[in-house]
A and B are shown apart, each in its own frame.
Chain A
């Protein structure tokens, strides 16, 4: 009964891997034997693997990834540094919240990417424009999640700390900050996704380096295997970052039973 038991334990992993492998296999077989391989339209896993090896291990894709990461980190860091205090301020001071909330909500709900061409025109092509775009897209989840976190502070807990003679500083550190932290981490996860959109759009549109640029360049030159390789590199990076954030969320907030909001 060994195999059955193993299956029961890890059935998600087993089935998941099986279906992924199955897809790759079917893809490869179909394009080798069934569908004529028009190189301008299709490609298959074996070719992608070769391109992947070439680009990633020998090629320039690492450099591109580094360029993209730099721009991303700049924009994202500023989003953290500005968004969190702003959100906290809005949550703590009721009137600040009233004043700023509608404005930021309007901005958050609108596709700020629409301003991308303008940003590129104003800031030129390069690191600054990309960082600005990343910042503009990723700052709002931080603002709103911190805002929500501060506002969700249980007044009962405030009373408890006050009843033991706690002062303003105690309230911040012992109640408000721990309450807000899970919200901030969840906001970071959302901001991550939005920031990635920013870097991609920035690089598609007007850049000379970066992973988004590389992918679109491969597309322009009909080098499909390389293009897929680039896409996979980005997918891997995105999954690693996102799952990493989830693990961080689980570690830093074990007391919260959050519903999955992917």
Chain B
């Protein structure tokens, strides 16, 4: 009995947290059994088991795979582009006051604006295919990466830079030995934010002007009142988001162990 009490007090946070989520899921499942759902409402309603069943059906009937791959490609290409553009740009802006001053107004303005506003424009330019989505993902994800890389570079300890310089290092070596390692936690934090934005881009991009993708699947299912399919899509996005975010968080905490303060995230 005492061992049980000890176990509980150690893992209390996890038990309460997981328990609550489980409770909600169970309650959700039980709602139609407990209350009578009116005919009208039942159009909009579904339960966890039905969602799982719908998901299973979609997989078995091979209907979901093409959507999944479409979304995945858009996500990866867009994010990849964001990394390729955002990181170097952030580095350069961090080290060059001139470029910083010149590019900063654009970064500030575009960062404050919800990038999704460009979706109609991108659809106009790139059509309904993959590329408008890739661009929206890119434009959403590039800013957290750029800004965080910039912050990481700017926050490097002057003393360390001077130390390396005193041994005769040039700009490139200084970058490699001091600036980059110092910036890594910031960059990883930026990556975490970028992943969230990228998923957002995929989802919303596929709502409008798309012919495949999980977002498209969700949108068409909604208009056809197939609420369980909607939730299958939502669940997949949620799950992927969670997994990716947790993975990056793990990397972040491993890298941040030597840091006295944490890179500002959220």
Count A-side interface residues using an 8 Å CB cutoff. 68
B199 x A111 contact (CB < 8 A) = yes
Give the CA-CA distance A199 to B259 in the complex, in Å: 39
A117 x B114 contact (CB < 8 A) = no
A37 at the interface (CB under 8 A from B): no
A114 at the interface (CB under 8 A from B): yes
Given A118, A190, A239, which contacts B108 in the complex, CB threshold below 8 Å?
Answer: A239
A139 at the interface (CB under 8 A from B): no
B157 at the interface (CB under 8 A from A): no
Instruction: Name the residue on A nearest B215 (C-beta).
Output: A114
Give the CA-CA distance A205 to B101 in the complex, in Å: 37
B237 at the interface (CB under 8 A from A): yes
Instruction: Name the residue on B nearest A220 (C-beta).
Output: B120
A258 at the interface (CB under 8 A from B): yes
Tell me which of A10-18, A26-34, A57-65, A152-160 binds B.
Answer: A10-18
Chain A 117-144, CB-CB to B under 8 Å as 1, else 0, gives 1101110000000000000000001001
Chain A 14-25, CB-CB to B under 8 Å as 1, else 0, gives 111111100100
Instruction: Name the residue on B nearest A218 (C-beta).
Output: B120
B155 at the interface (CB under 8 A from A): yes
A113 x B102 contact (CB < 8 A) = no
What's the dominant secondary structure at chain B's contact region? helix
Set of chain B residues within 8 Å of A242, measured between Cβ atoms: 112
Closest beta carbon of chain B to A260's beta carbon, Å: 6
B13 x A11 contact (CB < 8 A) = no
Give the CA-CA distance A218 to B116 in the complex, in Å: 15
A231 at the interface (CB under 8 A from B): yes
A261 x B265 contact (CB < 8 A) = yes
Give the CA-CA distance A193 to B193 in the complex, in Å: 13
B98 at the interface (CB under 8 A from A): yes
Give the CA-CA distance A235 to B111 in the complex, in Å: 10
Set of chain B residues within 8 Å of A19, measured between Cβ atoms: 101-103, 105-106
Set of chain B residues within 8 Å of A260, measured between Cβ atoms: 147, 151, 264
A103 x B204 contact (CB < 8 A) = no
Give the CA-CA distance A115 to B111 in the complex, in Å: 24
A78 at the interface (CB under 8 A from B): no
A15 x B101 contact (CB < 8 A) = yes
Give the CA-CA distance A78 to B263 in the complex, in Å: 30
Given A17, A118, A238, A259, which contacts B113 in the complex, CB threshold below 8 Å?
Answer: A238
Set of chain A residues within 8 Å of B223, measured between Cβ atoms: 117, 121
A173 at the interface (CB under 8 A from B): no
Give the CA-CA distance A227 to B120 in the complex, in Å: 9
B174 at the interface (CB under 8 A from A): no
Instruction: Name the residue on B nearest A243 (C-beta).
Output: B112
Complex A-B: 16 CB contacts under 8 Å = A11-B97, A12-B104, A16-B101, A23-B106, A40-B124, A98-B17, A101-B13, A109-B196, A117-B207, A118-B218, A145-B266, A200-B114, A218-B120, A219-B124, A259-B264, A262-B111
Top-6 shortest CB links A-B: A219-B120, A117-B222, A102-B17, A110-B238, A15-B101, A242-B112
* Given A110-B242, A220-B120, 8 other A-B residues pairs in contact with their CB atoms under 8 A: A16-B104, A19-B101, A111-B196, A121-B223, A190-B266, A227-B120, A235-B110, A260-B264
Which A residues are within 8 Å of any B CB, using their own CB? Answer: 11-12, 14-20, 23, 40-41, 95, 98-103, 106, 109-111, 113-118, 120-122, 141, 144-145, 148, 186, 190, 193, 196-197, 200-201, 204-205, 212, 215-216, 218-220, 222, 224, 227-228, 231, 234-235, 238-239, 241-243, 258-262
